[in-house]
Structure 1
């Protein structure tokens, strides 16, 4: 009886792994060992963040901080402006990445500093060339990132 219990657990674990592997087939595995996926539905920042979290992921953060990886993400976005995991919602001017890392000049590739246009730009999107602060309620596609 004890042996069957272990066999059942092994079979369940294998089925779970196969299901998980099937789900990841639609994600891009990057050289940094994170998986990325572009979602084309146009949503607000909050919805993009929640959608990524439903997939056990975050809005892209780690990859955006790395210049070579960022170029891959720009390519993945195919010219679209996309939500990424960076915002200053909590404290104006203090940008925090979705993975909890504090934004600094060394890890955040602004071409122009965020301007908080009309006092209403607390979220960040990736453009073809850089990052830009933007109104969180605007609708954009987004990139999720997960580490497995």
Structure 2
């Protein structure tokens, strides 16, 4: 193509672009083409000129400014949180008890172990209501502890390494109100000085305290006291096996 032909072609293209712009017939496509038809004066019929539009990708621009904080959302629906608060409180107490166990527990009686009296004992690491604790012991052909609990020497042996806490033992008046019986069949001692009840116990508050919890006063000496509580209270417990 000589210079005259190139100039003629260039004028045709410019004229085509001007006509398209004046008619607002401007569009974009992935290959950006200009199309002139045979109705345009001084143009070629169905003249097409196509250029590849896509070049190399530019650099990523800087991060924009942080937008303004949006308006607060609507208030949530209120709920009855009493049950949640109670569960959270129980969880916190359980966590505290667990820390106490990790800190103090050195006892060998978390597994079945024979004591000096020839009976076997196991201290629980879970908390259960009285009836479930009793059933758990029975499932192992055992009972909630009684015989060894009344013996100061045996108490001292099986409670060594246990932090001050409460444990269910086999002592209750479930069958007959006021008639406290140990799980080995022994009835409550008639003389106060022969019992393990804490001062001002037993008091049967609310009329439904039918099960005995044993509080460890000093595990190194085997000193304990008993307190009557409602049987539904989850508590750790001691099982006793008699071969």
TM-score tier (shorter): 0.7 to 0.9
Q: RMSD value over aligned CA atoms?
A: 2.0
In the alignment, what sits opposite 1:3?
none
In the alignment, what sits opposite 1:131?
226
Is 2:209 the partner of 1:121? yes
Is 2:114 the partner of 1:26? no
Kindly indicate whether the alpha-carbon contact (under 8 Å) linking 1:64 and 1:73 is maintained by their aligned counterparts in 2.
no
Number of equivalent positions: 125
Report runs of 4+ in structure 1 exceeding 4 Å deviation: none
Extract unaligned runs of 5+ from structure 1. Answer: 1-24
Please give the alpha-carbon distance, in whole angstroms, between the structure 1 residues aligned to 2:227 and 2:158: 15
Please give the alpha-carbon distance, in whole angstroms, between the structure 2 residues aligned to 1:76 and 1:58: 22
Please give the alpha-carbon distance, in whole angstroms, between the structure 2 residues aligned to 1:145 and 1:76: 18
Specify which structure has the higher proportion of helix: 1
Extract unaligned runs of 5+ from structure 2. Answer: 1-109, 218-224
Specify which structure has the higher proportion of strand: 1
Compared with structure 1, are the counterparts of its residues 79 and 135 closer, same or farther at alpha carbon in structure 2 (3 Å cutoff)? same
- What is the Cα deviation at residue 107 of structure 1? 5.2
Is 2:67 the partner of 1:67? no
Kindly indicate whether the alpha-carbon contact (under 8 Å) linking 2:115 and 2:158 is maintained by their aligned counterparts in 1.
no
Compared with structure 1, are the counterparts of its residues 65 and 56 closer, same or farther at alpha carbon in structure 2 (3 Å cutoff)? same
Structure of greater relative contact order (alpha carbons < 8 Å, 6+ residues apart): 1
In the alignment, what sits opposite 2:238?
143
Highest CA radius of gyration, 1 or 2?
2
